[in-house]
Structure 1
Amino acid sequence: MKRILYVLHSGVTGGTFLTNKDLMRNVQKDYEIYLLTAEYNDLKIYRYYENELKFIRRYPRHLNINVPVNDSDVDFHIWNAEEFHNSWFTFIYFDILTRFDIDIVHIRHLINHTFDLPQVAKKLGIHVMLSMHDFYFICPFYVLLDENQQYCAGKCSDNRENCYCPMNSLENINSKEIILQWRKNVLKMFSYVDYFVTTSKIVKKLFLDIYSDRSIINSENFRVIEHGRDFPKLDKNYFEIPSFKKPVKILCPANNLNAMKGSHLIKEMKRVDKDNLIEFHFLGNCFDDIEEYGIAHGTYERDDFYKKVAEIKPSFIGIFSIWPETFCHTLTEAWSCGIPAIGTNIGVIEDRIIKNNGGWIIDRDNPKTIFSLLEDIIKNEKYMEMVDNVSKISLKDTNAMAQEYIEIYELMLSE
């Protein structure tokens, strides 16, 4: 049985891990599966077998190869996004690929890694697939928001004012000052990749616009595979029909409800809501004091989503991101509950809502438009018509998603 190494940027939690777990669960019957994660202090290798993740080995970031030490006895090597290459990482990648006899490397993210892995793999004759989970390979500040928190489409302004930084460990760099060097090193790393995958045509087009060397990345070796999800069958209504009789409940779920997820838009909507038309509900970690503008229900696990929604019974799922998310699982979750979405006019959020006729769009630069939108929906009784549209949306399951990946894996192995 051929062996696949999946590569993640963090540990065994979070949205990217859960999506990757969905893939591993459906691929395990055809491939032997290993998982490499990168944390602040170490790299860890796991085996995924019979739906269980088993820890195998730890590689501390103290840059010693064979000397075991306690964490308290050592100064760890701090990851830096500008460190594109590192001999310790090269050695560790070589050790993992040869020790576990890997046939395919599928990179899901490289934050907390260097860019060495694809080159090491190719020198060993190992096939490489690279997934575009966000826009990290366009800019280290992977959400493409400038210093004014405006979408930049990867086009840097001439000033040197640093852009919106989405992650503490990236705060030591100025994205505009290193962007040319960044993309030069990314393109070199791309040259060792066999296939690229992302989740929408919009994201694919942006990468092809930024990277124009068609000998390295092109329409043939760059595929679009939407995420799949497995959902239970609905046995009741999870929504409440909106009316003028009481505030309209809008549920905003996200792991982190912060500026990227539209916390400032939410606050602005509520500030001008003099008639208390909207009642916001929040699921997830709240930032920027947005819990003062609605009802916070705390954090949640993926499997608890339906229970939480059933308790709240919102009329809409609100997705107010100000960056162009590459897929947006929240949209899929909303539709799986039979609930229409209200989303911002940017990227895949706008594209998926319009393409699937699954909700309404508001202008992220003019959040007040939500009030005229809600008035129109309620006054003209458009809500149940949209609910009917949502019920007809076909949602890909995880097995169908996995089969699309397996087709590329088999293609690589046959080359």
Structure 2
Amino acid sequence: MPSAIYIRGACIAGLREDGALGSGNLRMKMSGLVDCIFRQGMRCVLDDATLLARPEEAIDRDASVAADVNHCGSGTASEALQVASTAPGEVRPRILYVLSTKQGGTPQTNRDLMSALGGHAECFVLHSNASSLSLAFFDGEVLVELESRTLPSPIEVLPHRSGLYDEWVMEWLLRHAIELVHVRHIAWHSLGLIDAAKMLGLPVIFSFHDFYAVCPTVKLLDENNVHCGGRCTATPGDCIPELWEPSALAPLKNASIYRWRDMFEDMLSRCDAFVTTSVRAKALLESSFPFLASRQFSIIPHGRDFAEMNCQTAALAEGEPLRLLVPGGISIAKGGKFLEELARSTRPETLEIHVLGTVAEEISLPRHVHVHGPYLREEVVSRIAAIRPHLGAVLSIWPETYCHTLTELWAAGVPVVAFDIGAVGERIEESGAGWLVPMSVEAMLDFLHRLRSQPEEWGQVNARLAAWQQLARREHTCRVMGDAYLDLYESLLPALR
């Protein structure tokens, strides 16, 4: 049973046949409602701003009903719940997470976060695909849809706004008493979402899981798949947006990108706090939006819980081909063309390449490459163990902000070779649980040839990998991640303290 009841104005309006907010009949019915609430051993909190239509229609604070009811004079849901939180028992604030896709790393990590928060908050998720939007409640196991609506006209990439979307979302924020908005990804949503939340006095946190806010290419790769670092390259071709029709933004390079950057800087400036998952990602974002350097900007790595971790990778026997495992969805951005060239430059008798995951249509791997197909994240360690790789590879050519496949390889006890770019380079450099090589097939082949003849170096890296696993069991769990986010939420939402 709840310890307090927070009454919205919409509820009070329903006590009168005409729906108006008056004082005569309303006071009598309010008194009966409050009496019923108190007989159940609960407290009642009224938010004056939502309860009253006009100041002259206010309930007299000297009236009998006012003597039994806590008022929140400043009129925000967060402050009303702070009043309620002084009662015995626990009030769980409501957090809305904003997501674009329903599949992939960000939704999975968000589910991990919601589960880790446990009894500290009630979690809701807002999805949009530009044409329709839905609101769901996380019951601890699954998302239960509460609301859904279809826009008569889809949200367009420019200006990335929809007045009707904003109206509907504001209605949902009020109806479901949301107290904090956490944007995990804003693609296909209206940027007016932030304005709607701020009009209601709600704190807004914005997370960066890629570089969509910097450029609609998302991964900051130009038309030649060269990483631009957030600054347009000098080549003549145009860049391709990842989540929108290219024609809607053409030309993007050195043209509509400037409008995009202005739109996002304006939107971000209205947010209260920011989160990303690595030092390098934060630095790149601050170089694109310098004002972020002076704002509340946290680095919270993704937590993962593994039922098991393998402690030792397979030993490489004399004359045996080196088994190299590349996990994940292999696309151009994930190094698919590099892998294609690497596979064609070696013989399977010396290098046995395995892919655990999917391969994009534009990637043509030789027939001797073993493609094992997609995997469930909860079975990834056992699937990797069945392949018995000597070495893992993360071949992303863009600066990933964290990289779950790197975590999964390490959890399976497999050291990793990668390029020194983004969070992948940062994490390998910090842990020592792998090697960083230049982004060329020749450099990779030289490294693989040298590694076969250096068992001591292999042993040192495996020892550092074992140390990472011990650290991960203590400091990189979903609970640790949840505690870090809870600290951030508490800094913005007093009712959580």
Counterparts of residues 48-197 of structure 1 (less than 5 Å): 48-62=138-152, 77-158=153-234, 161-167=237-243, 169-170=245-246, 172-174=248-250, 175-176=252-253, 177-197=255-275
1:357 to 432, 451, 458: 432
Counterpart contact for 2:131–2:151, Cα < 8 Å: yes
Matching of residue 402 in structure 1 with residue 482 in structure 2: yes
The one-letter code matched in structure 2 to 1:87 is G
| Cα distance in 2 for residues equivalent to 1:337 and 1:350 | 19
TM-score (norm 2): 0.76
| Cα distance in 2 for residues equivalent to 1:28 and 1:162 | 46
What does residue 269 of structure 1 align with?
Answer: 342
Matching of residue 375 in structure 1 with residue 449 in structure 2: yes
| Cα distance in 2 for residues equivalent to 1:146 and 1:244 | 43
What does residue 405 of structure 2 align with?
Answer: 330
The one-letter code matched in structure 2 to 1:367 is V
Matching of residue 242 in structure 1 with residue 316 in structure 2: yes
* Alignment length (residue pairs): 394
| Cα distance in 1 for residues equivalent to 2:244 and 2:320 | 41
Matching of residue 4 in structure 1 with residue 127 in structure 2: no
The one-letter code matched in structure 1 to 2:261 is R
Aligned-residue CA RMSD (Å): 1.9
TM-score (norm 1): 0.90
Question: How far off is 1:161 after superposition?
Answer: 2.2
| Counterpart secondary structure, 1:387 | helix
Counterpart contact for 1:3–1:34, Cα < 8 Å: yes
Deviation per residue, 1:71-117 (Å, 9 max, x gap): xxxxxx33432232211111122112111111000000011112111
| Cα distance in 2 for residues equivalent to 1:282 and 1:61 | 40
Deviation per residue, 1:277-336 (Å, 9 max, x gap): 211111222121236351111111111212211211111111001100000111111111
What does residue 35 of structure 1 align with?
Answer: 125
Gaps of 5+ in 1: 63-76
2:298 to 223, 227, 234: 223
Deviation per residue, 1:129-162 (Å, 9 max, x gap): 0000100010011100111111100001356621
Question: How far off is 1:218 after superposition?
Answer: 2.6
Question: How far off is 1:219 after superposition?
Answer: 4.5
The one-letter code matched in structure 1 to 2:116 is N
Counterparts of residues 202-351 of structure 1 (less than 5 Å): 202-213=280-291, 217-234=292-309, 237=312, 239-254=313-328, 256-274=329-347, 276-287=349-360, 288-290=363-365, 292=367, 294-351=369-426
| Cα distance in 1 for residues equivalent to 2:129 and 2:278 | 28
Larger radius of gyration: 2
Counterpart contact for 1:10–1:112, Cα < 8 Å: no
What does residue 494 of structure 2 align with?
Answer: 414
Question: How far off is 1:236 after superposition?
Answer: 6.5
Counterpart contact for 2:216–2:242, Cα < 8 Å: no
The one-letter code matched in structure 2 to 1:193 is C
The one-letter code matched in structure 1 to 2:118 is Q
Question: How far off is 1:167 after superposition?
Answer: 3.9
Counterpart contact for 1:28–1:49, Cα < 8 Å: no
What does residue 66 of structure 1 align with?
Answer: none
Percentage of pairs with the same residue: 29
Counterpart contact for 2:310–2:411, Cα < 8 Å: no
